Amino acid sequence: MSSVKIFSGKSTKYLANSIAESYGKPLGEVTLQEFSDGEMSPFFTESVRGCDVFLIQSTFPPADNFMELLLMIDAAKRASAKYVTVVVPYFGYARQDRKDKPRVAIAAKMMANLLSAAGADRIMTCDLHADQIQGFFDIPVDHLDGSAIFIPYLRSLNLKNIIFASPDVGGVKRTRSFAKFFDAELVVCDKHRERANEVASMRLIGDVKGKDVVMIDDLIDTGGTMCKAAQLLKDNGANSVRAVVTHPVLSGKAYENIDQSILEELVVTDTLPLKKDKPSDKIKVLSVADLFAKAIRKIHDHESISSLFIHS
């Protein structure tokens, strides 16, 4: 069987080191050479001929992160790697997954096309913004579920009157899976937007009086929706409100919004790096390193990854 080699782009090296350590192999070396105008030229400083290569890089802004990943895929294929699996803990541009108004790009589909065109043989990611994005790819997609990280943590809290809330209608399916696992009820915060990152109005569907509410979402950006939903839940009699979110994008005034909100805590994963100059005592980070390491091992051994899904 071919050997496994794990590499990382510069923006996700903090997580790739943990994944490689959990897997039991050192992280491979990639040198990123840059021309004076900023043009990138990554290259592997060790042979990958005949190897199963795993390239780890989240595709969050700036676009250089995605460009670096594409160049690494191409370099691996041209260096005769046997199989190239692209590990994208956070798949950026996934919010643009449909034509919701005239004359807009479907960026998620374009990203999928570019990864395939660069030579990726397989994609591994976690909690896509919409499950159907898997259909944008013509290559296998391993879509890991962040609930395997969050459910054990929520169990440890021993919340007596737990209820789950979706901060918008689009997240009901994701939230329902948590509610079903805990045999708990589900409520929905129905929101209306007039423009991106700005909530015009919100109303609660369901009863949360005296309940310990856990909001579920795939990502948090400015935090406006989450914090407004938390206040709505509290105003409707919730005992406590916390949020569980896989991808901490946290842009704009997100840290300020979270600190000033009534949220007990915001539980996230390390698919994205937190901004070190803006720490928050309310944010708790759980690592996905072990989950991805187990998935890499199973893929290399040609085993099913279904055991990694806690709902199964």
Determine the number of helices (DSSP H) and then strands (DSSP E) in the chain.
8, 14
Strand partners, 285: 268
Tell me the C-alpha distance between 103 and 248, whole Å: 29
Cβ atoms of residues 238 and 190 within 8 Å: no
Cβ atoms of residues 284 and 267 within 8 Å: yes
Cβ atoms of residues 142 and 122 within 8 Å: yes
Three-state SS at 210: coil
Spell out the alpha helix ranges (H) of the chain. Answer: 13-23, 64-78, 107-118, 147-157, 172-182, 224-235, 254-260, 289-300
Whether 82 sits among the annotated catalytic residues: the reply is no
Cβ atoms of residues 250 and 274 within 8 Å: yes
Instruction: Given the residues 191, 211, 228, 294, select the one marked as catalytic.
Output: 191
Tell me the C-alpha distance between 93 and 107, whole Å: 6
Q: For residue 145, what are its two tokens?
A: 């579920």
Any residues with CB less than 8 A from the CB of 6 and at least 6 apart, and which? 16, 19, 20, 23, 25, 27, 28, 53, 54, 56, 296
Catalytic residue ranges = 191
